[in-house]
Amino acid sequence: MAYAHITGWGMHVPKKILTNDDLAQMVDTNDEWIRERTGIHQRHIADKSDTTASLAVEAATHALRMAKLPPTELDLIIVATSSPEYVFPSTASIVQDQLGAETAGAFDLSAACTGFIYALNMATQAIRSEQIKTALVIGSETLSRIVDWTDRSTCILFGDGAGAFVLQASDEPGGVLSAVMRSDGSGGNLLAIPGGGSVNPASSQTVLDGLHFIHMNGNEVFRFATRVMAAASREAMEKAGLEMDDIALIVPHQANYRIIQAAARGLKLPMERFAVNVHKYGNTSTASIPIAVCEAAEQGMLQSGDNTVMVGFGAGLTWGSLAVRWTGPFEEAKPIKVRPYRRRAWLRSVLRRIWRFIEGLVWGRGKDSSA
């Protein structure tokens, strides 16, 4: 049987930082009010040159370098995001092109803040079924583009960033041990972007009504989150045959410090057993768990052989968890440089576009545009 091991990880956040004091100049709020209710001190905000794909590519570059895996050896790329580049093409396809992952399939996954958990499980199952050997899973967001900066109930919460994992097959037991994925669509209205879909197609009216921004019932989402976080963590442990004492670290979705505290109480664990960085980045949705894992690994909170649980919740409503035995890069892998692959990928992409243009001239552009 093949096991899906996490052999590389990487993160990237925009340079611009927006503090609580900065927000107090924009809406009726203050630093103390935000810290008391969320635990957030600051968040990173994308500038004009940052996109969901560009952040994803940088995080992926770090993860591939860590795993010592060339992009050309990737079989699958999944990007979990709530703020994609476009409705289509997928952000994952753009990432695939920019990395030069010539033989990789690529698709986006939409499960809001639980998306990275779902995506990691999808990649794991593809490896365990021996359909693929390598996968790149990315959570990437530019939520600042879909936040109403006049709504203090939501604009204080969200930030931008990306995190990525490389998964590789191995006969050695370990890696992702179990997964839990759940959904309750009856609560779909509690956290949503109402405009832009088939129910409310984009129009001047939907823009005027602010339907393309995040809308959230904060109290209901808070109660939902505090119910499911501890239960989902326990379920993942049970499916993996692990006890609470076997777990070195819990990595929760970084939405709100009080929600993480509630999960700790529910699991009867001290906060020291949890990876927490919500104060630095705010809620980065699909990126929050991989970013937290990257920092935990860098700080020595995760060592090879450690068992960890990753748990999240989000719009849908969705929630999920994973039990993972931490591995790290395979010892036999040789160091690589990823950026030369990216430069070749850029050239390849340009040449393919030129070739399509030439084909159009030869075969006649515009004569019949039907597919």
pLDDT value at 83 more than 80: yes
Among 102, 146, 92, 77, residue whose Cα is nearest residue 285: 146
User: Is 104 inside a domain boundary?
Assistant: yes
pTM: 0.96
302 within domain boundaries:
yes
- Is 366 inside a domain boundary? no
d(C-alpha 360, C-alpha 43), whole Å: 46
pLDDT at position 367 over 80:
no
Q: Would you state the pLDDT for residue 334?
A: 86
Residues in the chain: 371
- Provide the CATH number for the domain around residue 261: 3.40.47.10
Instruction: Determine, yes or no, domain membership for 336.
Output: no
Query: What residues make up the domain containing 181?
Result: 3-325
End-to-end, the C-alpha distance of the chain in Å comes to: 42
Residue 350 lies in a domain: no
| Alpha-carbon span 27 to 24, nearest angstrom | 6
| Mean pLDDT value of segment 12-29 | 97
Query: Is residue 368 situated within a structural domain?
Result: no
Catalytically active residues, by annotation: 113, 253, 283
- 363 part of a folded domain: no
* Average model confidence (pLDDT) across the chain: 96
Q: Please tell me the predicted confidence (pLDDT) of residue 118.
A: 98
Give the pLDDT confidence of 92-116 residue by residue, as tens digits. Answer: 999 999 999 999 999 999 999 999 9
Confidence tier at 219 by pLDDT (50, 70, 90): very high
Region 314-326: mean pLDDT is 98
Residue-level pLDDT at 368: 58
Instruction: Read off the pLDDT band of 193 (50, 70, 90).
Output: very high
Look at the chain and report how many structural domains it folds into.
Answer: 1
pLDDT of amino acid 366 = 56
Q: Is residue 348 part of a domain?
A: no
pLDDT (tens digit per residue) in 334-356: 899 999 999 999 999 999 999 99
